[in-house]
Amino acid sequence: MEVGVVIDLFLSYRAIEAWTDMIRLKDLMSRPLQESVMVQEQFALALNRDGRGEDAEPVLLRLIARRVASERDVRYPRARLQGPLGCSAPRRQGFTSARSLDEAIEAYLRGFQADWRDAYPGINALTLIEVRDPLDDRGREILPIVKYSVTRRLASGNPNYWDHATLLELAVLDGDEAAAADALATHAKQRSAKSGSPTRRPWNLGFIREARARRA
């Protein structure tokens, strides 16, 4: 098939969270298409969401080495956060150590620094920084950069569900209630327009809320 058809099918599987089908389809692609940055990024995402984080990690590390990685869904360390940000186990198990949280933050920051045009690793780093005790000052430093990255994608005229969801999460992290309300309205329209949209951002918002409650 022509490349466009294959990629459309690949991303359609992603939209309905059919991770196993994404993995299967990747293995059927031509070698050049398999090795493209976009396919490798999405392949790593599918592996991670399918519970195969150990297989996803080397894929992402190779992308970082090529300095065009987004590290969109980098695997957490083995003692990783359970629940938000794409993990499937019960939420309240939490990080087993402060070190594992710091390792996850560093991994997402490396992904964002590899390509600042991609806000996804940036927003994940910010969310984890928000729950760190004490708070990491780098959060305030990179938040405007992540916001700029998202707003440029929105201005491109071809934003997706995750761009609007990320803008909502950024507004919450920034304590901007008016911006959060505006982003939430747009986010809701996106979900109603595409009933198969993922729901991971609301999990993240609950996670942020719990962390702030712990800090009173």
- Measured CA to CA in angstroms, residue 90 lies from 103, 106, 212 at distances of 21, 23, 20
| Per-residue pLDDT, 161 | 75
Calpha distance 88→84 (Å, rounded)? 8
pLDDT at 215 over 50: yes
More confident call, 42 vs 38: 42
pLDDT by residue (tens digit) across 50-109? Answer: 989 889 888 888 877 765 434 334 444 333 444 344 333 333 344 546 777 888 888 888
pLDDT by residue (tens digit) across 134-164? Answer: 777 888 888 998 998 888 888 877 777 778 8
More confident call, 187 vs 45: 45
Of residues 64, 172, 65, the one with CA closest to residue 118:
64
pLDDT at 46 over 50: yes
Rounded average pLDDT over 101-126? 82
pLDDT by residue (tens digit) across 172-204? Answer: 999 999 999 998 888 777 666 654 555 555 668
Domain ranges of the chain: 1-75, 77-216
